[in-house]
Amino acid sequence: MSREYTRTIVKIIFCTVVVFVFAIYTHVSQTDPIPGQIKVGATYMTMNSEFYRHLHNEIQRYSDSEGQILYTRDAEMSEEKQSKQIDEFIEKRVNVIVINPVKSDSEQIVEALSRAKNFGIRVIAVDSQLNNIKVDTSIVSDNYHAGILIAKDLMKRTSNAHILLLTHKDALSANQRITGFLDTIKSEEHYQITSERETVGQTEYAMTTVGDALSEGLQFDAIVALNDRAAIGALAAIKELKVTSKKLIYGIDGSPDMKHLLATTDEVTGTVAQFPSHMGRKVSETIDLLVKKEEVEELYTIPVQFVDKNNIIQFDINGWQ
């Protein structure tokens, strides 16, 4: 199978998923709000992610049980689109905005959220924190520790490594993961970073990026990706180019696809499980506290867990944890 053919198939699947998800998640009940009814606006950097869909399902379940109106938007990795969605929430006079920011330090997004705060709208950042603005609370995985867990496992498996990092510079959560990894290996001279490549955390981008790195002749024997989607894209590139040398591949998420690979193949090395169900429930609890005008903590951190062949049996490989 040619590289170009494989990329074309990936693009078709990607576009189909985006259209399908957009159709689902832009749907909102057309029933007019009841006076006094709580309204929540949720915007995610992308809904082309099972993680965010699973997280959102918990919020939707809570919202439905409380008789709230929940407006859900997909920013499709666009700062401009996300800032406009925030302005739309302001027009709808929502009580709370839940935001998974496209870019943690985006001026457009920060300015839009500042306008929302001026209207008394409460703000929850989820899965990634924001810079340059104080929100009511942030609910995130322990991203720094996730990077530490990968570094420790890598050092247990091999006494030296040339490492390719796959990053998403605009996401603070992704940067924290990479920082945790780098801080853990920085005093170990036998572990060297060969290259850092931007992937925006997407499978298709990672496949192209790693394919290009391999074609350039870049030498590496370990791949540390900011998330499972990028790790799986890296694996796709390796398989497409028929690379035979063994490479350790790490992701972060604990996605069903990555867990299935861990359980059934030797193609990937490990992942760090996040718990989107727990995160979604914590968002729901915090919405409840905010609308009741009760105090919330500035930061809620959800623990993470390393997963490899040794403990994969403890996890449901067909769903999220």
Question: What are the pLDDT digits (tens) for 94-137?
Answer: 999 999 999 999 999 999 999 999 999 999 999 999 999 999 99
Sketch out the chain's domains with CATH numbers.
3-140+275-302 (3.40.50.2300), 143-274+308-314 (3.40.50.2300)
Q: What's the token pair of residue 41?
A: 């606006």
The pLDDT value recorded for residue 18 is 44
The pLDDT value recorded for residue 32 is 61
Angle in degrees, 0-180, between the axes of helices 256-264 and 228-240, rounded to the nearest 10: 50
> What are the percentages of helix, strand and coil residues in the chain, rounded to 5?
45, 20, 35
The pLDDT value recorded for residue 45 is 96
Regions of the chain short of the pLDDT cut 50: 1, 5-6, 8-30
The pLDDT value recorded for residue 73 is 98
At 141, give phi and psi (nearest 5°).
-75, 165
The pLDDT value recorded for residue 5 is 45
CA 71/CA 267 separation, integer angstroms:
40
Give the bridge partners for 44, in sequence order: 74
Q: For residue range 262-306, what is the model confidence (pLDDT) as tens digits? A: 999 999 999 999 999 999 999 999 999 999 999 999 999 999 999
CA 125/CA 133 separation, integer angstroms:
11
DSSP code per residue over 153-217: HHHHH-S-EEEEEEE-TT-HHHHHHHHHHHHHHTT-TTEEEEEEEE-TT-HHHHHHHHHHHHHTT
Q: What three-state secondary structure class fits 93?
A: coil
